[in-house]
Chains A and B, each alone.
Chain A
Amino acid sequence: MLELKPERLDFDDFQEQLISVCGKIFRADMTGALYWPAEDALIVADLHLEKGSSLARRGQLIPPYDTRETLRRLAEALDRYDAATVICLGDSLHEEEACERIGAEELQMLEIMQENREWIWVTGNHDPSIGERLGGHVTGDIEVEGILLRHQPRPGRVTHEIAGHMHPAAKLCLHGYSIRRPCFVGNGTRLVLPAFATYAGGLNILAEPFEPLFGNDGLRVWMLGHEGLYPMATRLLKED
Chain B
Amino acid sequence: MRDTTRQHVHQKRTRRKPAVAQDAPMLPAVFAQWFASRGWTPRDHQLALLKAASERRPALLIAPTGAGKTLAGFLPSLVSLAQRGRAKKGAGLHTLYISPLKALAVDVARNVMAPIAEMGLPIRTETRTGDTPLSVRQRQRTRPPHILMTTPEQIALLLSHEDAGHLFADLDTIILDELHALAASKRGDLLALDLARLRTLSPELMTLGLSATVALPSELRAYLVPQRTPRRCTELADLVRVSGGAKPQITILELDESVPWAGHTTRYAVHEIYQAIEARRLSLVFVNTRMQAELLFQELWRINDLGLPIALHHGSLDASQRRKVEAAMAAGTLKAVVATSTLDLGIDWGDVDLVIHVGAPKGASRFTQRIGRANHRLEEPSQAILVPSNRFEVLECRAAVDAAEAGAQDVTLSRSGALDVLAQHVLGTACAGAFNPEALFAEVTSAAPYGALSRANFDRVVDFVSTGGYALKTYDRFAKLKATPDGRMRLAHPRFVLTYRLNAGTIVAAPVIKVRLVRRRSLDNRKALTGGRVLGEVDEYFIEQLRAGDAFVLAGKVLRFEGMSENEAFVTHAGARDPIIPSYNSGKFPLSTHLAERVRALLADTQTWDRLPAPVAEWLRLQEAHSVIPAREEVLIETFPRGRRHYLVAYPFEGRLAHQTLGMLLTRRLDRAGAQPLGFVANDYGISVWGLADLSAMIEDGRLDLAALFAEDMLGDDLDAWLAESNLMKRTFRQVAIIAGLVERRHPGREKTGRQVTMSTNLVYDVLRRHEPHHILLEAAWADAATGLLHIARLGDFLHRIDGRIRHQPLDYVSPLSVPILLEIGREAVAGSAREELLRDAAQELIREATGGEPSCSS
Contact = CB atoms under 8 A, between A and B. Distances in A.
Interface of A: 1-6, 8-9, 14, 53, 56-57, 59-66, 68-69, 101, 103, 171-181, 198-202, 217, 219, 223, 225-228, 230-236, 238-240
A173 B763 contact: no
B770 interface: yes
Nearest to B544: A178
B857 interface: yes
B468 interface: yes
Given A2-B834, A61-B742, A233 B846 contact: yes
A38 to B, nearest CB: 25
A5 B847 CA distance: 16
Contacts of A62: 468, 742-743, 760, 764
Q: For B725, B744, B760, B826, which residue has the most chain A Cβ atoms within 10 angstroms?
A: B760
A56 B495 CA distance: 14
A199 B763 contact: yes
Interface stretch (B441-449, B471-479, B593-601): B471-479
Contact of A176 (B545, B725, B842): B545
B839 A225 contact: yes
- Residue among B828, B842, B846 with most chain A CB within 10 A: B842
9 contacts: A1-B826, A59-B496, A63-B470, A63-B768, A63-B775, A69-B770, A173-B545, A231-B847, A236-B845
A80 B284 CA distance: 65
Contact of A234 (B755, B844, B859): B859
Given A62-B742, A178-B545, A199-B767, 4 more contacts: A2-B679, A173-B544, A202-B759, A225-B836
A178 B541 contact: yes
A113 B545 CA distance: 43
A6 B667 CA distance: 13
A233 B858 contact: yes
Nearest to A223: B839
Interface in B826-859: 826, 828-830, 834-847, 849, 856-859
B838 to A, nearest CB: 5
Give me the 6 closest cross-chain CB pairs, A-B, nearest first.
Answer: A61-B468, A230-B843, A65-B771, A3-B679, A56-B478, A178-B544
B678 interface: yes
B838 A2 contact: yes
Given A233-B842, A233-B856, A233-B858, A60 B742 contact: yes
Interface string B356-385: 000000000000000000000000000000
A200 B474 CA distance: 21
B564 interface: yes
B856 A65 contact: no
A180 B754 CA distance: 14
A202 B545 CA distance: 19
A139 B307 CA distance: 76
A202 B842 CA distance: 20
Nearest to A216: B858
B825 interface: yes
Contact of B835 (A65, A177, A228): A177
A5 B676 contact: no
Contacts of A217: 858
A62 B771 CA distance: 13
A229 to B, nearest CB: 9
B677 interface: yes
Nearest to A233: B846
B187 interface: no
Contacts of A201: 756, 759-760
Contacts of A65: 470, 472, 767-768, 770-772
A64 B475 CA distance: 8
Contact of A227 (B692, B836, B858): B836
B679 A226 contact: no
Nearest to B496: A59
Contacts of A238: 544, 547
B646 interface: no
Contacts of B843: 14, 228, 230-232
B234 interface: no
Contacts of A180: 759
B849 A233 contact: yes
B646 to A, nearest CB: 13
A61 B475 contact: yes
Nearest to B847: A231
Interface string B627-659: 000000000000000000000000000000000
B678 A6 contact: yes
A84 to B, nearest CB: 30
A232 B772 contact: no
A228 B547 CA distance: 27
B467 interface: yes
B416 interface: no
Interface residues on B, range: 35 or more
B757 to A, nearest CB: 11
Given A172-B838, A176-B545, A179-B839, A240 B755 contact: yes
A233 B835 contact: no
Prevailing SS type, chain A contact patch = loop
B840 A61 contact: no
Given A60-B744, A179-B835, A227-B836, A6 B676 contact: yes
Contacts of B828: 1
A239 B565 CA distance: 10
A180 B508 CA distance: 22
B518 interface: no
Nearest to A173: B545
Contacts of A239: 564
Given A178-B545, A240-B755, A235 B858 contact: yes
Interface string B655-696: 000000000000100000000111111000000000010000
A199 to B, nearest CB: 5
A60 B743 contact: yes
Contacts of B767: 63, 65-66, 69, 198-199
Nearest to B755: A240
Contacts of A68: 771
Given A64-B470, A66-B767, A9 B840 contact: yes
Nearest to B830: A1
A46 B847 CA distance: 30
A189 to B, nearest CB: 17
A231 B846 contact: yes
B455 to A, nearest CB: 22
B836 A226 contact: yes
B499 interface: yes
B859 A235 contact: yes
Which of A14, A61, A198, A235 has the most chain B CB atoms closer than 10 A to its own CB? A61
Given A174-B842, A177-B838, A61 B478 contact: yes
B480 interface: yes
B773 to A, nearest CB: 12
A100 B384 CA distance: 70
A102 to B, nearest CB: 10
Contacts of A171: 544
A73 to B, nearest CB: 11
Contacts of B677: 4
Interface string B732-744: 0000000000111
B800 to A, nearest CB: 28
A7 B678 CA distance: 10
Contacts of A235: 856-859
B858 A219 contact: yes
Given A1-B828, A199-B763, A230 B842 contact: yes
B476 to A, nearest CB: 10
Given A1-B681, A233-B845, A233-B849, A63 B764 contact: yes
B743 to A, nearest CB: 7
A178 B835 CA distance: 9
Contacts of B772: 63, 65
Interface string B442-469: 0000000000000000000000000110
A240 B474 CA distance: 36
Nearest to A172: B842
Nearest to A103: B474
